[in-house]
A and B are shown apart, each in its own frame.
Chain A
Amino acid sequence: MGVLSVSAFLTDAVTLVHGPDGCTHINTSLLHTTLSEHDIFRIPDIVSSGLGENEIIFGGEDALHDALTAVCSDDPSAVIVASTCVAETIGDDVAGICSQPWDCPVIHVPSSGFLGGTFTDGYNSALSCLTSLITPGKQDLNKVNIVGEKNLEFEVEDNFQEVSRILEMLGLEVNIRYVRDITVSDIKRFKDAGLTLFREDTEGVLGRHFHACTGIPSLPEFPVGLAATLAFIKDVGRLTGRDSTDAVCAEEERQASLADEFSDLAGEYMTFDSFGFQSAEMEMFVEVAEAVGIRVSEEGTVIPVPFCMPVGTLGLQRMLRQWRRFVDG
């Protein structure tokens, strides 16, 4: 699913899942459900190699070869091949089949269902493998790539708008959204940018790979928190060779206005609950609480930690509105 959360958003490519039909159905269904929840009524083009019992016993490489032949005959811009648990268990040489000469780019993304790691591993793997489509370009310091947006995140467009707003304050424009509703030819323009922004790559897995492939400097994550948003603006300015002083001042004013907008929350008591599994960056919550005059105490209103952290100042504004609903509710 991690692979498909990337490849399904490469609009002129086809994803081929090497496994039984049921596995592809599960992923098609989950993608359709999630996109419907986002009011996106589109069904990504995903093909199954249709492994049956015969292939499980005698090997599925011929089935993969046949499926690739059929898919390539429709002349897609690229085919992304992901394998499943059972294909990995029987030991099909998926990489070998994909590396044969085909009429269009065929990119094998190591995945292998639960034998290939977690959702994040598949997602990182897909983003990394698709860099093979990048062609030489001329770096333009006015352009920025956005890499690894969480396509299944409900706030994905909101977060993009917030980062775009910050970039516009610095006179920057987005080059490509890698990979969010783009084409294979869009990926070829990757090196036209002077900076790469990762949605969330705090461990640097993607950063190291992309730097080696493109040489473009990068920042590891979208900004989360008040100070982090200001630091983000400064870092973007520094890496693109421009003065960020005015942009930082404007953002500080915007952040200061949050305290006015949410002055009714000043003096309220709150506590944050991660439900034992959310990645709770408590420092950020305390920072925002203090900025608005909220007191953090175990006896306070329980605020659930959001599954995805709020991006930029706009994200904090939406988060504070939610806190208000909890207090009022």
Chain B
Amino acid sequence: MARPSHNPIWPCAMIGAAAAMAGLEGTGVIIHGASACYLYADSVIPNPLNCTYLIEDEVIFGTGDRLLEVSEALLPFSERIVVINSCVPATIGEDLRAYCAGCESLFVDAPGYCGDMMDGYRVALAALSPEVDSTRDGVNIDGLISTDPFAVGNRMEAERLLARAGIPVAARYCNDTLASALRPSAMTVTALPDVASGIGQSAGSLLGLDAIEKTFSVLQDAMPDADCAPVMDICEETEELVVKVCDRYLRVNDPPRVTLFGIAGYLDMATDLLTTYLDAEICGAGARNQPQEGSVCTWGPDLGTVKRMISSGKPDLIIGSRYEATLAPGVPFVQMTIPIRKHSMLCHRPLIGTEGVLWLIESVVNAGIKGC
């Protein structure tokens, strides 16, 4: 059932599908739709995208010729053409397989009305349908969606922790070559559970210290050649640092009243950290995407919900995006989701792993500090 929403603030399925496929080097991703769909996608997805730029004539007389034109231009540079169908072509329902320059293309039906960005991401991976290569060594990393400003940092952090355990990395979803993504190994660790691929056997996630320890315990059991002890040591050292800085903070500050907004998985991790180490009072956790079962979050994909949560919670710290910073300009703020405006984020920060824990705690305790 449709429900009206005030200023929806989370991208549609088409964006998630395009982000997934464009993150795989070797694909030639075509957004089959209008310029506005493409321009927005291009603003939030760092990888190359292409578009058929449909106009009214093509909707009336057929979009195939336009798709053929773009496919032919893209084919020399692509191992595989991927067509992301947006709302209008998905609705008019043409059979477009004959219009992909004679190559075996991948069609992802991801109209915006079928769900949000996370849904589109999963739809695209399901369409790609990689088959596990049991002869491939290592562990896959999934949950890397390029619209997440922490995705590259997360990938690097996951690779670092796996390397410390002596575990090679297999496929990375979706930040890899197409060839690698099509032959994953048998086991997977997840950066962000909200966009878990379902490919391979899951060893768990890397969100928060407890999750890291559990995941590496599973990996140790499954991979006798691995040595996960160094990772456990890093977790222990990280917790010591966190306890020390949080204790120092609480000696001169009251526990923060925090309202959080962003991707549900991150919010669950942050809520756990802030309540455990800073005695924080969580006034609300508004997830942009549908939270999974057991999450502390409520679904709040529109500014109407965000406004109500900020107004009722009266937080003294907000974790979220520039939307929240705009709505509550005087409240100390930590940027944890898109959109990022007026600020630049150039370095590859992780939100997963031990470095992610440290960055989040560091950001929270520094958020209210003014001056040197």
Residues of A within 8 A of B (CB): 1, 16, 19-26, 28-30, 32-33, 36, 41-56, 60, 62-63, 66-67, 70-71, 84-86, 89-90, 113-115, 117
Contact = CB atoms under 8 A, between A and B. Distances in A.
Contacts of A70: 4
Interface centre among B12, B40, B43, B113 (most CB of A within 10 A): B113
B346 interface: no
Contact of A86 (B8, B11, B88): B88
B4 A25 contact: no
Given A20-B12, A114-B34, A89 B59 contact: yes
A42 B7 CA distance: 12
B310 to A, nearest CB: 13
Contacts, number: 147
Question: Which size class do B's interface residues fall under?
Answer: 35 or more
B20 to A, nearest CB: 16
A322 to B, nearest CB: 24
The 8 closest A-B pairs by CB, nearest first: A22-B12, A22-B112, A63-B2, A21-B8, A67-B4, A114-B34, A20-B113, A86-B87
A23 B112 contact: yes
Interface in B38-63: 40, 43, 54-56, 59
Contacts of A114: 34-36, 54-56, 88
B326 interface: yes
B8 A33 contact: no
Contacts of B112: 20-23, 86
Contact of B4 (A30, A55, A56, A66): A66
Contact of A85 (B5, B88, B114, B329): B88
Contacts of B11: 22, 25-26
A19 B14 CA distance: 14
A314 to B, nearest CB: 27
A117 B35 CA distance: 12
A50 B4 contact: yes
A53 B114 contact: yes
B98 interface: no
A286 to B, nearest CB: 33
B342 interface: yes
B61 to A, nearest CB: 13
Contact of A50 (B2, B9, B10, B322): B2
Contact of A22 (B13, B55, B88): B13
B180 to A, nearest CB: 30
A56 B327 CA distance: 33
B2 A51 contact: yes
B37 interface: yes
B370 interface: no
Interface centre among A22, A24, A49 (most CB of B within 10 A): A22
B84 to A, nearest CB: 13
A89 B7 CA distance: 23
A292 to B, nearest CB: 36
Nearest to A44: B7
Given A20-B87, A22-B13, A86-B91, A53 B326 contact: no
B7 A45 contact: yes
Contacts of A66: 2, 4
Contacts of A115: 56, 59, 88
B345 interface: no
B153 interface: no
B323 interface: yes
Given A32-B323, A36-B341, A55 B88 contact: no
Given A26-B37, A44-B7, A52-B2, 9 more contacts: A25-B7, A26-B40, A30-B40, A42-B326, A49-B4, A52-B113, A54-B2, A63-B2, A89-B87
8 contacts: A20-B111, A24-B7, A24-B8, A29-B40, A33-B43, A50-B4, A89-B92, A114-B88
B4 A1 contact: no
B336 interface: no
Given A1-B36, A86-B113, A89-B91, A55 B2 contact: yes
A84 B34 CA distance: 11
Contacts of A21: 5, 8, 10, 12, 112, 116, 301-302
Contact of A43 (B12, B34, B303): B303
Nearest to A63: B2
Given A36-B341, A42-B326, A28 B8 contact: yes
B1 interface: yes
B229 to A, nearest CB: 46
B308 interface: no
Interface in B69-97: 87-88, 91-92
Contacts of B88: 85-86, 89, 114-115
B2 A49 contact: yes
A197 to B, nearest CB: 30
B251 interface: no
A97 to B, nearest CB: 13
Contacts of A51: 2, 113
B138 to A, nearest CB: 36
Contacts of A90: 91
B7 A22 contact: no
Contacts of A62: 2
Contacts of A44: 7
Contacts of A60: 2
Contacts of A29: 9, 40, 43, 339
A320 to B, nearest CB: 30
B2 to A, nearest CB: 4
Residue from the set B2, B34, B56 with the largest chain A CB neighbour count within 10 Å: B2
